[in-house]
Amino acid sequence: MYTDTIAAIATALSPSGIGIIRISGDDAVEVADKVFRSKSGKKLSEVKSHTIHYGFVCDEEEVIDEVMVLLMKAPNSFTKEDTVEIDCHGGVYVMNRILKTVLKNGARLSEPGEFTKRAFLNGRIDLTKAEAIMDLIQSKNEAARKNSMTHLKGDLYRKIKNLREEIIYEIAFIESALDDPEHISLDGFHERLEEKSDKIIQAIEGLLKSADNGKLIKEGIYTVIVGKPNAGKSSFLNLLLGEERAIVTDIAGTTRDTLEESVHLDGMTLNLIDTAGIRDTEDIVEQIGVNKAKESLEKADLMVYIVDSSVYLDENDMEIIKLLDASKTVVLLNKSDLDTVVTEEDIKDIFMKRFAGSEDKNASEIPDFLTISAKEEEGLEAFTNLIKEKFFNGKLTFDDEVTISSMRQKEALSSALHSMKMVKQSLMDDMPEDFYSIDLMNAYACLGEIIGEEVGEDLVNEIFSKFCMGK
């Protein structure tokens, strides 16, 4: 339990209308009284909690700024400690000068995320809510915001807590039966535990299935745009961005390097990589760009293959198609405003033939197709709907869903799932009840890591170190 008092600037360090300096800890009110001069003449230690007061922040006799001060006494604050927030004018120098004065009068500078860390350690929030706060601050789109709010409302916490309660009940039953076999019978217990294990495994697997979508929602869909030179890749990028970010000319090979941008489409974030046109070339600089394009494809969540449908396919198209994963690919037949000579069937045939005679599981897969005209700005809505369908089953809503967006949570769930499957295996092998208890306890502990009931100090410090200073 912390007893010292911390302070930090809680708003961005940039010129703005309002800046906030936050103070929290046992001596927060005492520290604030040393620097705040209320217009009413009352000290903060003399007034009620959750009140706002007008006055001035002073460094000894020098007035620094005209401020409003908010007082929140323990335990009814975010940290469950006495907390004072000074709302001052949002100049960078002014905020720093007030913070310096607060530190001089008894507070210390907070560590990154220390306010939220104290809220967690003081039982104000669990670890899923703490991580949701960070995700909310860093959210890049509406889907990420909604998912963060779902966690912040406690939906994930309740799911994990319920699973742990079911597991601990079975552990307690086993231990009681082994300690007092005369009064507690294990008759029929194996069947009941098998049914309960199936239910828990199904719930954990459901959460794990959401993890891939959660990653895409949180970090964005890594989208690589490929095609031959002059196929319209840069025009399509500009269409997505709504501005001329990439140079567009009639000269093949204009894009020599990868261009990286992010775009928000109907709640989704696409991290776009516009690559150099892939073709055989003697130009050394262009060759480097082509190699970078190939490297980007290896990391792609989504591959957008743009084809100039007004020009016949050639050996360069064949080479590009060899690089594509059909399950991740959307083929855009571009330049529909011109006379077209390439059809969807032509490209499907190539995808089918490239694995002819192969036992590769992807041999029968074909990509998705759309006909567009980047020049005429046609096809953007259809592309958006296709991506939503491809990654999110056509919708992005989290009102009744819990989506895992943390790798830490995913790893803990995977470990819990493994332990529950070990319980199932022990049941099948008719092992002694002690074996069930060991694996059930492991699953219980792994789930506890998610909500913060089974975590060490090092992990807690690592999680909160990723927060900003004043949060």
Instruction: Give me the CATH number covering residue 144.
Output: 1.20.120.430
Q: Are residues 193 and 253 in the same domain?
A: no
How far apart (Å, rounded) are the C-alpha atoms in residues 93 and 15? 9
Q: How many residues does the chain have?
A: 471
Q: Residue 293: which CATH number?
A: 3.40.50.300
Q: Are residues 306 and 206 in the same domain?
A: no
Structure tokens belonging to residue 343: 């059809």
Q: Per the domain annotation, does 396 fall within a domain?
A: no
Q: Tell me the CA end-to-end span of the chain in Å, nearest whole number.
A: 18
**DSSP code of 180?**
-
pLDDT of residue 168: 94
pLDDT of residue 258: 52
Q: Residue 117: which CATH number?
A: 3.30.1360.120
Residue 90's φ and ψ, nearest 5 degrees, are -90, 35
How far apart (Å, rounded) are the C-alpha atoms in residues 218 and 268? 9
Q: Per the domain annotation, does 108 fall within a domain?
A: yes
Q: Per the domain annotation, does 379 fall within a domain?
A: no
Q: What are the start-end ranges of the E strands in 50-179?
A: 51-59, 62-72, 83-90, 108-109
3-class SS letters over 298-333: HHCCEEEEEEECCCCCCHHHHHHHHHCCHHHEEEEE
Q: Are residues 418 and 362 in the same domain?
A: no
pLDDT of residue 444: 96
Q: Per the domain annotation, does 458 fall within a domain?
A: no
432 upstream amide cis, omega within 30 of 0? no
Q: Are residues 156 and 182 in the same domain?
A: yes
Closest CA to 276 of 238, 242, 247, 312: 247
Closest CA to 295 of 331, 260, 258: 258
Q: Are residues 318 and 414 in the same domain?
A: no
Q: Are residues 243 and 337 in the same domain?
A: yes
Domain end position, chosen among 125, 157, 178: 125
Domain end position, chosen among 125, 158, 183: 125
Task: Classify strands 83-90 and 16-24 as parallel, antiparallel or unpaired.
Answer: antiparallel
pLDDT of residue 158: 94
Sign (positive/negative) of CA torsion 75, 152, 208, 218?
negative
Q: Are residues 313 and 271 in the same domain?
A: yes
Q: Per the domain annotation, does 413 fall within a domain?
A: yes
CB atoms within 10 A of CB 260: 10
Query: What residue type is assigned to position 36 of the chain?
Result: F
Q: Are residues 194 and 241 in the same domain?
A: no
Our CA dihedral for 46, 47, 52, 58, rounded to 10 degrees, sits at 0
Residue 37's φ and ψ, nearest 5 degrees, are -115, 105
Q: Per the domain annotation, does 306 fall within a domain?
A: yes
Task: Classify strands 6-9 and 62-72 as parallel, antiparallel or unpaired.
Answer: unpaired
Burial class of residue 441 in the structure, from the number of CB atoms within 10 Å of its CB (0-12 exposed, 13-18 middle, 19+ buried): middle
pLDDT of residue 183: 79
pLDDT of residue 419: 96
**DSSP code of 120?**
H
Sign (positive/negative) of CA torsion 334, 335, 337, 340?
negative
How far apart (Å, rounded) are the C-alpha atoms in residues 96 and 116? 21
| Structural domains of the chain, count | 3
pLDDT of residue 47: 95
Q: Are residues 211 and 238 in the same domain?
A: no
How far apart (Å, rounded) are the C-alpha atoms in residues 5 and 106? 8
Closest CA to 225 of 322, 132, 301: 301
How far apart (Å, rounded) are the C-alpha atoms in residues 247 and 277? 13
CA distances from 282 to 116, 287, 416 (A): 56, 7, 54
Q: Per the domain annotation, does 24 fall within a domain?
A: yes
How far apart (Å, rounded) are the C-alpha atoms in residues 257 and 268? 25
pLDDT of residue 170: 92
CB atoms within 10 A of CB 217: 30
Residue 7's φ and ψ, nearest 5 degrees, are -150, 150
Q: Per the domain annotation, does 461 fall within a domain?
A: no
Task: Show the domain range for 192.
Answer: 132-215+404-452
Chain-centroid distance of CA 4 in Å reads: 32
Sequential pLDDT tens for the chain (471 residues) = 567 999 999 998 889 999 999 999 999 999 999 999 999 999 999 999 999 999 999 999 999 999 999 999 999 999 999 999 999 999 999 999 999 999 999 999 999 999 999 999 999 999 999 888 888 888 877 778 888 888 888 999 999 999 999 999 999 988 888 888 777 777 888 899 999 999 999 999 999 988 877 777 788 889 999 888 888 888 888 888 875 544 333 434 444 445 678 888 887 888 888 876 555 555 554 455 566 777 788 888 899 999 999 999 988 888 888 888 888 999 999 988 888 899 999 898 888 877 555 555 555 578 999 999 988 888 999 999 999 888 877 555 545 567 888 889 999 999 999 999 999 999 999 888 888 899 999 999 999 999 998 777 887 888 887 777 777
Q: What is the pTM of this model?
A: 0.72
Closest CA to 31 of 113, 108, 95, 122: 108
- The three-state secondary structure class of 295 is helix
CB atoms within 10 A of CB 16: 13
Q: Are residues 95 and 137 in the same domain?
A: no
CB atoms within 10 A of CB 52: 11
Q: Are residues 114 and 136 in the same domain?
A: no
Q: Are residues 102 and 187 in the same domain?
A: no
pLDDT of residue 288: 58
Closest CA to 107 of 74, 78, 85, 130: 85
pLDDT of residue 289: 54
pLDDT of residue 90: 93
Domain end position, chosen among 352, 374, 396: 374
pLDDT of residue 257: 45
